[in-house]
Amino acid sequence: MRLMMMTVLLASTALLGCDGKSTEKTTSTNETFIDIPDSTFLAQRPAEAKDLAVIKKDAKLGDQVTFLARVGGRSRPFVEKQAIFIAADPSLLSCEIITDDDHCSIPWDYCCEDGQLLRKGMATIRILDEDGRPFGVNAKGAGGLQASKFIVVEGTVSELNDEGLFVVDASHIWVGGKPTFKEPRKGSM
């Protein structure tokens, strides 16, 4: 740790030359992060979108899929510095649709839901650049993405297994609204 801190200090410190003038040598990564293109996000909801769990049950590697889900399933559904997030089947019960008393500060983590159902109804969504890597930005806020919101994802199944792993590389995403206790599907259309 100490060596790493010293290296960072040295990398950003101006060095003095023999004549006493600064010969600034800074090493910066100068990484350029490209935002997720607006074209990824759809203004119109795709008409035909079955729930995530229904699609996941019969999906195969390489399948083109379209499904309805909600952003969430973990307390932190968005991955930092990568356009990857978690989505949950709309039939899964989050706190805001279980009760109207606002008892849960993180309703999108589905803390009251059965673990088996979560495994069957969760997906990892990736938004890839032209090189096939996730964009180097957090997807939160892009196109209106927010925890608890309904989404329709169109994409390709890139990973899956019998343990519940289901990764979809999104080509398009429609972002809807959030449900309420009285209207659990509010925001899905």
- Taking the model in full, what pTM does it have? 0.80
pLDDT tens by residue, the chain, 189 residues: 333 333 333 333 333 333 444 333 333 344 445 799 999 999 999 999 999 999 999 999 999 999 999 999 889 999 999 999 999 999 998 877 777 766 677 878 877 788 889 899 999 999 999 999 999 999 999 999 999 999 999 999 999 999 999 999 999 999 999 998 889 999 999
On whether residue 88 sits in a domain, the answer given is yes
What domain count does the chain have?
1
Predicted pLDDT of residue 102: 66
On whether residue 17 sits in a domain, the answer given is no
On whether residue 68 sits in a domain, the answer given is yes
Predicted pLDDT of residue 12: 31
On whether residue 69 sits in a domain, the answer given is yes
Predicted pLDDT of residue 112: 75
On whether residue 133 sits in a domain, the answer given is yes
Predicted pLDDT of residue 5: 32
Q: Can you tell me whether residue 82 is helix, strand or coil?
A: coil
- Cα angle 65, 69, 71 (rounded to 5 degrees) comes to 120
Predicted pLDDT of residue 187: 93
On whether residue 24 sits in a domain, the answer given is no
On whether residue 79 sits in a domain, the answer given is yes
Predicted pLDDT of residue 34: 72
Which residues span the domain enclosing 116?
A: 32-175
* CATH number of residue 36's parent domain: 2.40.50.200
On whether residue 10 sits in a domain, the answer given is no
Predicted pLDDT of residue 21: 40
What DSSP assignment string belongs to 88-146? E-TTS--HHHH-SS---S-GGG-TTS-HHHHHHTEEEEE-B-TTSSB-SS--TTGGG--
Predicted pLDDT of residue 115: 85
Predicted pLDDT of residue 31: 47
